[in-house]
Amino acid sequence: SRPRVWVSQPLFDDIITRLEPYFEVDAAREVADHAPSRIAEALREADGALVTLNDPIGAAEVAQAPRLRAIANVGVGYNNLDIAALQARGIVVTNTPDVLTETTADFGFALMMAAARRITEAERWLRDGQWQGWAFKSLLGADIHGATLGILGMGRIGQGIAKRAAGFGMRVLYHNRHRLPEAVERECRASYVDYEKLFAQSDHVVLVLPYSAQSHHLVDAATLARMKPTATLTNIARGGLIDEAALADALAGGRLAAAGLDVFEGEPRVDPRLLALSNVVLTPHIASGSLATRRAMVALAVDNLIAALGFGPEAGKPRNPVPAAKPL
């Protein structure tokens, strides 16, 4: 019989159809945060799966799935997957880098600007009927042009943000686990600084680094205390990078001017203290969400899954295998 694949969420039917020449396709009809038992059940008979960041999969979920050989994650971040456990089982994991880089960088820049210039706060104020005449001193924000931008995580998306910053005349600092080659630094017009300096010297900090046990709550009360009280913090990576309680304290206490958050530790739940603050722009994890890019992500994941399961023109050579997990 033909191999079976599970598609965990409704994606784009016209793209998912490309799986049908090769596989029996079991595609979810409704958006859902599946319970672990439901994921395990769906994987039981599957040879492959196309999943999203809603779907946490580790040893327990694949324990009853002897045929499972490939998981294609529709997304660049894959902290929903226990890579070490899946690779130990011989399961190939793929992700979708590159196709979302520019779209995500656009959004990171937009969110930073919205936080700095208080765009959503101003709109709420206007819609609430509070605009009683042009108010010279209301809703004054911080400049982007000429300011110092700090980028934490200088991968493809971080570099995309740095390139945009050049057009705004910003000075760009970055910190990364590994310093970039000089040629790349020059191309991005970005200077490497240590973690402490990045937070102390930047007017706007953007987080674009992968989330892992090592980066959990990397931005904590001590880090926030280094920041200028006039600064902004924007997160388009993963919510767990920030200690949200410490961030809410800093924003409420006037120790940080504003924040832009597209990701949250307990998504889709948002800390009620953040919801109550006016100086934080909140969006529901949409940084890669242009129609064209979301379609490109699904198409790439479909290609990766077909190739990882040994079919199609790239049989056995998926474009985006997640590298072997390093031991801690």
Which residues of this protein are in contact with ligand GLV, per CB under 6 A?
53, 75-77, 97, 100-101, 155-158, 208, 288
Query: Per the structure block, which two tokens stand in for 32?
Result: 């859902």
Toward ligand GLV, which CB reaches closer, 44 or 156?
Answer: 156
Toward ligand GLV, which CB reaches closer, 6 or 107?
Answer: 107
Give me the least distance between CB of 220 and ligand GLV, in Å please: 22
Task: Indicate which residue of 69, 117, 118, 238 is catalytic.
Answer: 238
Give me the least distance between CB of 145 and ligand GLV, in Å please: 24
Give me the least distance between CB of 238 and ligand GLV, in Å please: 7
Dist CA 160 CA 154 (whole Å): 9
Give me the least distance between CB of 149 and ligand GLV, in Å please: 16
On the 0-12 / 13-18 / 19+ scale of CB atoms within 10 A, 187 is middle
Give me the least distance between CB of 162 and ligand GLV, in Å please: 11
- Would residue 267 show up in a list of annotated catalytic residues for this protein? yes
Toward ligand GLV, which CB reaches closer, 103 or 201?
Answer: 103
**Contact call for residues 279 and 252 (beta carbons, < 8 A):** no
Dist CA 20 CA 317 (whole Å): 19
Closest CA to 5 of 268, 306, 225: 306
DSSP 216-270: TT-B-HHHHHHS-TT-EEEE-S-GGGB-HHHHHHHHHTTSS-EEEES--TTTT--
Dihedral, 143, 149, 107, 103 alpha carbons, nearest 10: 140
Toward ligand GLV, which CB reaches closer, 53 or 92?
Answer: 53
- Would residue 34 show up in a list of annotated catalytic residues for this protein? no
Residue of minimal Cβ distance to ligand GLV: 155
Task: Indicate which residue of 45, 102, 267, 314 is catalytic.
Answer: 267
319: Cβ contacts below 8 Å, ≥ 6 apart: 94, 300, 303, 304, 307
DSSP 274-312: HHH-SSEEE--S-TT--HHHHHHHHHHHHHHHHHHTT-S
Which residues participate in catalysis according to the annotation?
238, 267, 285
